[in-house]
Structure 1
């Protein structure tokens, strides 16, 4: 009996030891490894960044309506500048978390404890450069949206910084240019940037350098009204190497396989929501048709844009846009049924599962260079041509060259600030934040519907566009800071709000680079 008890005790001891070891293994989540490679971080950060910005919330209910590309078919409150605070809070946090992942990639490639292991996924310096480029791209979207935001003291929680200051825009934008210069100097084109994980350029260091220089041009043009050095920034970028064709542009291509489809597609066909249509002002611009309700002229009246059938679908053979900013109680079934519905088996290209979402395109660069060289006709025509070819390629088609030549000739009779800005606006479709920002910088296109102007006729009466938030008679100058910031970062938040017009968190405080006034709605470049 004693022998049996000893054997049993020994067995139980061994069982308990093994069981404890098994439990330790069970407590490890195989989907959340202790160590994450820089390549894995890059893939996740790239995808999340695009998911958050190019979706039916940040873009669909905010940036695209602000740029007057999209109207909502059912609930139009956001089109009229009444945001959902919960959404505003969430996206501010999401975008900062994503930017933090790029900071982590930089740290893992510079920290002595991790840089050797990280180098197995590509040159340390090239990885740091890519992370910096993407971080600057994302932080510019954040700054363009909310205004002055935390940056220099952000991402320093481990250093004890719990309440980071909000950096003024006149410091942020030149700082972005400096950081891009640092990234460009780090890039070794003879080495791969990432051996895996890069969904934009597949690790091609030369392409990343071209993107960094082209992005530098975008930031420089944003400063064209306030910084006399903006031309030199562009000249430096061109000398270092920018995009040279559509083959160079920075695109994030989604998958046809669930759950990795483009979030525009998912918003319609996975979430099952038919909430959006192209707007009447934008459709009329593409159709070469003037705004008769407000007697606004069209820069190319009677000229139909060849991108129209790529951007949207017809209804009984007609292209009709949805009124912009119509109150929800006026958005009748008859009005919705007159506009195109994309909730079909043949939606437009923008709702393809594998739609390639742009970070920046060659056509945008061409329009920037046209402006840089005093509205240069050659760069302008190259921009129009490459834009049409870009959009047809996304649709899996080729533009008819004779029609393309005819269109380019028709819209090139006059090349000036208005025509360059308007063609750039047409090209930037689906990049709502950039188009909205360019309107705030230039005042173009003139076809944008302003508060108080008429949006539709109901029962013989013209219905004015009436925002639900004060914007001082214009499109929003910014998005209000998220309410959560007042409690999570009260010091930084209070100091930033105090610098806004009227010392309030509002929609009408202009960005540093937006110097338009009622007397001077289209200021000259410095």
Structure 2
């Protein structure tokens, strides 16, 4: 198991400068260092990124509900695409702060006046490479959330870049691929990356190189419908070395000890907000149940996914019933009263809300699904992906909860059932199932592929509810639709609006970026350049 976090860390520094030498000496705080080691900066950045991205706000009220893994039990406004501007503003800033700290590691290991001292903690080039790799992972998530964002002129406040331009998304992707190649080329697998402070790979440069190549595959597959070079990028990554087993997975291991528990756990059991549950569309997909309310098909109807018991917990009757998705908060009480929707996470405590859950940044199973698509939807790679996913989640359950929940017999039966037909839908849907709890990537992949087709679209039927008379008696039933509170043009959100703070903090960049969006407005329906789906071609072929 990777090293557990041992304490709170400094994530950033504020250095005050005055013209008076005496005042400088008087105002030195012995309890706050003016210099922080690169391992401390790295671990601070790693933890803050994971805390902010995988929590009950950015994930719970945005990406996990957009990808329809979760639904809210009480207040469904975010499920229906009404974001909280305060949250949007805050997380944009949080991610940039963390990305800036990673850029700071690069600068410290590049500057002639600081690089020699920094080399005590690992070879300079390796530290630079690791910081670049994690920064690129983070910036891709940010870009796939908001669209074009400041990058080429960002992280240079000391150089006078007070109002960085917003890079166009296609140019930003090119920059990320270029930087990733630089990191891959400079990393020395015979040397330590970091002597301490790395909670993902414990300073193993070889593992970071595999992560970089696997991340290159993720970037490439996102471009598969718009860039004919995407296969070249993947071929280069495979040649250089990608993940080959679950032992390579990029995971951030949390602890059972406060304050270093997983933030999903903290949201439910420290902040006492049991607002979420697994959604009906996702539970029905895992149970092999077809959506009859919307006449949808199911790729493996009647086949029970063994990961269901890992992803969620059953109710008191032993049933798995997901919360209806996208209905108005006031209508939840009329949706089949008396049914015990599973899970009430406070009772069942499934894997993902355990204190020491290991958050996955990128896994071997995802790489297998990417390689299957790369190889023309190869059945062999696809099968490896399904098996690796089941093994990964089962092993996680053993590590965190102390018990396996998936038998080898159940795994074999399921794999046999879902590998009879291998095509674009099968690969994309199994990738979606595997990506549970990584809502940002699942949401992005839906926008690229249009799968899974089982997800609810706006104005489709969500569930059946009771109708009551004025005395509280049931007089009939009605079908409730999935209704939205923001315009998304009949689909899942294509992006999140730029934070409103940007209009005053970086007005020129903000206005230029918004002008390039559909209708020249800051909306939810302007598509990413890599999303080329249309109503006539909902699942475009790769280039």
TM range (shorter): over 0.9
Instruction: Indicate the RMSD between aligned Cα atoms, in angstroms.
Output: 1.4
Is 1:415 the counterpart of 2:418? The answer is no
1:502 to 498, 519, 522: 519
**Alpha-carbon offset, residue 338 of structure 1:** 2.4
- Aligned partners of 2:130 and 2:183 also within 8 Å: yes
Is 1:322 the counterpart of 2:323? The answer is yes
Secondary structure of 2:306's match?
A: coil
1:336–1:520: structure 2 CA closer, same or farther, 3 Å change rule? farther
Q: Which residue of 1 aligns with 2:441?
A: 434
- Aligned partners of 1:62 and 1:79 also within 8 Å: yes
- Aligned partners of 2:223 and 2:530 also within 8 Å: yes
Deviations 1:439-490 (A, max 9, x none): 0000000001000101111221111111000000000000000000000000
1:483-522 matches, within 5 Å, as 483-522=500-539
1:345–1:239: structure 2 CA closer, same or farther, 3 Å change rule? same
Q: Distance in 2 between matches of 1:299 and 1:128?
A: 44
Name structure 2 gaps, 5 residues minimum.
1-21, 467-476
1:341–1:335: structure 2 CA closer, same or farther, 3 Å change rule? farther
- Aligned partners of 1:322 and 1:335 also within 8 Å: no
Q: Distance in 2 between matches of 1:77 and 1:180?
A: 38
Q: Which residue of 2 aligns with 1:3?
A: none
- Aligned partners of 1:269 and 1:343 also within 8 Å: no
Secondary structure of 1:463's match?
A: strand
Is 1:475 the counterpart of 2:492? The answer is yes
Q: Which residue of 2 aligns with 1:10?
A: none
Q: Which residue of 2 aligns with 1:452?
A: 459
Secondary structure of 2:462's match?
A: strand
**Alpha-carbon offset, residue 342 of structure 1:** 3.3
2:388 to 386, 389, 392: 386
Q: Which residue of 1 aligns with 2:310?
A: 310
Q: Which residue of 1 aligns with 2:53?
A: 53
Q: Which residue of 2 aligns with 1:353?
A: 355
**Alpha-carbon offset, residue 177 of structure 1:** 1.1
Q: Which has the larger radius of gyration?
A: 1
Q: Distance in 2 between matches of 1:406 and 1:377?
A: 16
Deviations 1:218-275 (A, max 9, x none): 0000000000000000000000000010000100000110000000000000001110
TM-score, normalised on structure 2?
0.91
Q: Which residue of 2 aligns with 1:339?
A: 341
How many corresponding residue pairs?
A: 504
Secondary structure of 1:317's match?
A: coil
- Aligned partners of 1:73 and 1:336 also within 8 Å: no
Secondary structure of 1:496's match?
A: helix
Between Structure 1 and Structure 2, the one with more helix by share is: 1
**Alpha-carbon offset, residue 34 of structure 1:** 1.2
Q: Distance in 2 between matches of 1:474 and 1:189?
A: 45
1:492–1:39: structure 2 CA closer, same or farther, 3 Å change rule? same
Secondary structure of 1:149's match?
A: coil
Q: Distance in 2 between matches of 1:476 and 1:200?
A: 31
1:499–1:336: structure 2 CA closer, same or farther, 3 Å change rule? farther
- Aligned partners of 2:76 and 2:326 also within 8 Å: yes
Secondary structure of 1:110's match?
A: coil
Q: Distance in 2 between matches of 1:311 and 1:158?
A: 46
**Alpha-carbon offset, residue 90 of structure 1:** 0.3
Stretch moving more, 423-432 or 345-354: 345-354
Q: Which residue of 1 aligns with 2:540?
A: 523
1:52-131 matches, within 5 Å, as 52-131=52-131
Q: Distance in 1 between matches of 2:52 and 2:407?
A: 35
TM-score, normalised on structure 1?
0.94
**Alpha-carbon offset, residue 340 of structure 1:** 1.4
Q: Distance in 2 between matches of 1:126 and 1:24?
A: 36
Secondary structure of 1:422's match?
A: helix
Deviations 1:5-63 (A, max 9, x none): xxxxxxxxxxxxxxxx9x97896152x31110000000000000000000000000000
Q: Distance in 2 between matches of 1:219 and 1:29?
A: 45
Name structure 1 gaps, 5 residues minimum.
1-20
- Aligned partners of 2:85 and 2:499 also within 8 Å: yes
**Alpha-carbon offset, residue 346 of structure 1:** 3.8
1:371 to 370, 373, 380: 373
Q: Distance in 1 between matches of 2:496 and 2:157?
A: 26
1:157-236 matches, within 5 Å, as 157-236=157-236
- Aligned partners of 1:287 and 1:305 also within 8 Å: yes
Is 1:244 the counterpart of 2:244? The answer is yes
Deviations 1:73-97 (A, max 9, x none): 1110000000000110000000000
1:336–1:211: structure 2 CA closer, same or farther, 3 Å change rule? farther
**Alpha-carbon offset, residue 335 of structure 1:** 5.0
1:5-16 matches, within 5 Å, as none
